[in-house]
Amino acid sequence: MSLIFCSRTDDPDEWRGAFAAIMPDLEFRVWPDVGDEGAVEIALVWDPMQEQLLRFANLRLIASLGAGVDHLLAATTLPPGVPMTRIVDANLTQGMREYVLLQTLYCHRQAPAYLAQQRAADWRPLDQPFCQQRRVGIMGLGVLGAAAAEALQDIGFLVTGWSRRQKELPGVECFAGLSRLDEFLAASEILVCLLPLTPDTEGIINRRTLGALPPGACLINGARGGLVVEADLIAALESGRLGHAVLDVTREEPLPADDALWRAPNITITPHIASITNARSGAELVADNIRRVRAGEALLHTVDPDAGY
């Protein structure tokens, strides 16, 4: 059995080393050096080129290198009937928990305003609400959104959440579906976006939805750039309707040096580092699914290509 690794952004040597330690019988090949195409049964991929996977007639598993699969679904014609899995990993979840806590506290404790005051040598305390009075809304209550909700609640924030299907999370007021979206947004002074990018969520943060937030609200996008209509975001920041935006992801990555987002007021940009798949723990998860494929058992963390996540 061989595995083909296809990614323009992940380091194949890290993954090769991780698999060598736990599954030494697996032949690890890196695109375009595919070797015997008929022997390839596993594709470990981030963004394969169009139709690349169709050439492997004996493919039994397509494993995403990340939690998100939008790259994969958008870039590739999938061989019909081959199951797809994604990364659900405690390290990845912990990274996102930390990022959301960091950026929520950064907004809540008015760090951007104090940084501006520091630059102006302006020593002036600002009014500070308690976190028990601060309403944080999380869009997407999946693996990462639910973990972020729990962490925010633990330190006292008032947390609400929004998802496609109704969720029950202890202490979190949960809203579901488009019909409840505006109600959810109206209660989100800090909006944390952890939705997958799908045809239904593309551009969901736009002029209309930004306008449904409380005036001066903050946005934290730790999911995908395609969720945001960037021109609408810039307009909302310029008008002051939105108080601050933290973006870990943008439509084009890396964000070009001349992109208007860099120069928007009240914005914090990080280069898609909110949480990064660790090759060692990621390889263990994929290896577990490879063993399941071999044993004909049910796979873990499968993707529904029709839903897009």
Residue ranges that bind ligand OXD, judged by CB under 6 A: 66-68, 87, 277
User: What are the backbone dihedrals phi and psi of residue 72, each rounded to the nearest 5 degrees, phi first?
Assistant: -65, -50
Interaxial angle between packed helices 90-108 and 279-295, expressed in degrees from 0 to 180 and rounded to the nearest 10: 140
196 contacts ligand NDP (rule: CB under 6 A) = yes
In angstroms, the CA 166 to CA 169 distance is 10
- Residues 252/278, Cβ–Cβ less than 8 Å: no
What binding mask, one character per residue, do residues 250-279 give for ligand NDP by CB under 6 A, x or -?
A: ----------------------x-xx----
Using CB under 6 A as the binding rule, the residues of this chain from 164 to 183 that contact ligand NDP are 164-165, 167
Task: Out of 44, 59, 61, 144, point to the residue binding ligand NDP (CB under 6 A).
Answer: 144
Which listed option, ligand OXD, ligand NDP, none, makes contact with residue 48 (CB within 5 to 8 Å by class)? Answer: none
Q: Which among 106, 108, 110, 134 has a CA at the least distance from the CA of 122? A: 110
Q: How many CB atoms lie within 10 A of CB 42?
A: 26
Of residues 272, 280, 291, 292, which has the active-site annotation? 272
Q: Detail the DSSP E strand segments found in the chain.
A: 2-6, 27-30, 40-45, 61-64, 84-85, 135-139, 158-163, 173-176, 190-193, 217-221, 242-247, 267-269
112 contacts ligand NDP (rule: CB under 6 A) = no
224 contacts ligand NDP (rule: CB under 6 A) = yes
248 contacts ligand NDP (rule: CB under 6 A) = yes
Say if residue 24 is preceded by a cis peptide, omega within 30 of 0: no
Of residues 71, 108, 224, 244, which has the active-site annotation? 224
Q: How many CB atoms lie within 10 A of CB 177?
A: 12
Report the nearest approach of ligand OXD to the CB of residue 34 (Å).
24
Known catalytic membership, residue 224? yes
List, by residue number, the catalytic residues: 224, 272
Residue ranges in contact with ligand NDP by CB under 6 A:
67-68, 92, 96, 140-145, 163-165, 167, 194-198, 200-201, 222-224, 248-249, 272, 274-275, 309
